Structure 1
């Protein structure tokens, strides 16, 4: 996981190319890059970067590969169609640059209509309990009051995405399957899905790091529910297996 944020050394020539192309890039992207152009996944994965459109000089440089390939899914609750038909694959990406291109081109979660979901999962894992890599797992669930939608929701969802693609849970990142955001009338929910609910050490490590990354207060408690428990009853009735 740590190497996912390690520095990538650039040659002097590349550095000069960056300097030359920076003014055009800032004008085009409307983004301030600060003193140094980014040279690490860590810098590139900073939430403050938001949309980043590379200029001509930047686009020739090496892309920053992610450890995993990820797929973004969109779910729209249309009662006239089956659940499977309502689930659509939006795109797949495996570089930092393609992540930001994707993020800047989709609607913010706070702007989605009620009943819609976004899901980001490792390529090959479908965002449903029935998938073989999900069925023995569970989820860390963050429930948000209605008034938080326009103040905190988008920030928390973006931070969740960055935790996933940046492999923020060290060696336990391999336990992560994906994350889902549910936009609902009463409460919105964000959940990180892991593959093995019985892996107490891994699940608790992920929960603690995730809570810290979201900047939740120590008084706020988030719970982990096994999919097997939530599949048989509504999530509001399912018992928490772990809490942090």
Structure 2
């Protein structure tokens, strides 16, 4: 995995607790090839670990906010897991997203992870079309390994599924 990816991927983190505008986020790393991907993945501990902050892996110019025009009509599939499993799930999803193999029939725009209460994490797969909200779009190997207890949340209220 050392060749160029078909897309660039940017790692962001949310650094301002009460600021959910783009100013509350910081782009910290750009990935466009396998070497950079594994360099980052193998050094998450230098950032305090994958579950220490609210991290995002976003495609090309996509910003990690729902209001970004690229995200407005999309949403995300959400996995809630114990924090001890978060790093493994993050790796599984990350490897597939940078290879464009995470979803089929819709465009994956990114991933996010955040630590929640009671030693749980929420990991999300962001897509560009909230009408394509079925888990059938997610890579079958992910569903087989991690299960189907996944919810979909549309980014904009008029697109809310449920």
TM score, norm. by length of structure 2: 0.83
Aligned to 2:122: 189
**Secondary structure of 1:132's partner?**
coil
Q: Are residue 149 (structure 1) and residue 83 (structure 2) matched?
A: yes
Compared with structure 1, are the counterparts of its residues 156 and 230 closer, same or farther at alpha carbon in structure 2 (3 Å cutoff)?
farther
Q: Which of the pair is proportionally richer in strand?
A: 2
Aligned to 1:16: none
Distance in 2, Cα, partners of 1:154 & 1:101: 15
1:152-180 CA distance string (max 9 Å, x none)? 111011111112101114653x6111011
Larger gyration radius, structure 1 or structure 2 = 1
* Structure 2 residue corresponding to 1:180, chosen from 99, 112, 120: 112
Q: How does 1:57-76 map to 2 (within 5 A)?
A: 63-76=2-15
Q: What is the total number of aligned residue pairs between the two structures?
A: 158
Structure 1, unaligned runs of 5 or more: 1-40, 42-62, 232-238
* Structure 2 residue corresponding to 1:117, chosen from 54, 58, 79: 54
Aligned to 2:68: 131
Distance in 2, Cα, partners of 1:198 & 1:82: 25
Distance in 2, Cα, partners of 1:205 & 1:135: 22
Residue 152 of structure 2 contacts residue 161 of structure 2 at CA under 8 Å; is this kept in 1? yes
* Structure of greater relative contact order (alpha carbons < 8 Å, 6+ residues apart): 2
Residue 169 of structure 1 contacts residue 205 of structure 1 at CA under 8 Å; is this kept in 2? no
Compared with structure 1, are the counterparts of its residues 240 and 121 closer, same or farther at alpha carbon in structure 2 (3 Å cutoff)?
same
Distance in 2, Cα, partners of 1:103 & 1:230: 36
Aligned to 2:100: 167
C-alpha displacement at 1:131, in angstroms? 0.6
Compared with structure 1, are the counterparts of its residues 128 and 82 closer, same or farther at alpha carbon in structure 2 (3 Å cutoff)?
closer
Distance in 2, Cα, partners of 1:104 & 1:190: 19
Compared with structure 1, are the counterparts of its residues 133 and 210 closer, same or farther at alpha carbon in structure 2 (3 Å cutoff)?
farther
C-alpha displacement at 1:71, in angstroms? 0.4
Distance in 2, Cα, partners of 1:176 & 1:129: 14
Residue 22 of structure 2 contacts residue 64 of structure 2 at CA under 8 Å; is this kept in 1? no
**Secondary structure of 2:42's partner?**
helix
Residue 197 of structure 1 contacts residue 226 of structure 1 at CA under 8 Å; is this kept in 2? yes
TM score, norm. by length of structure 1: 0.57
**Secondary structure of 2:146's partner?**
coil
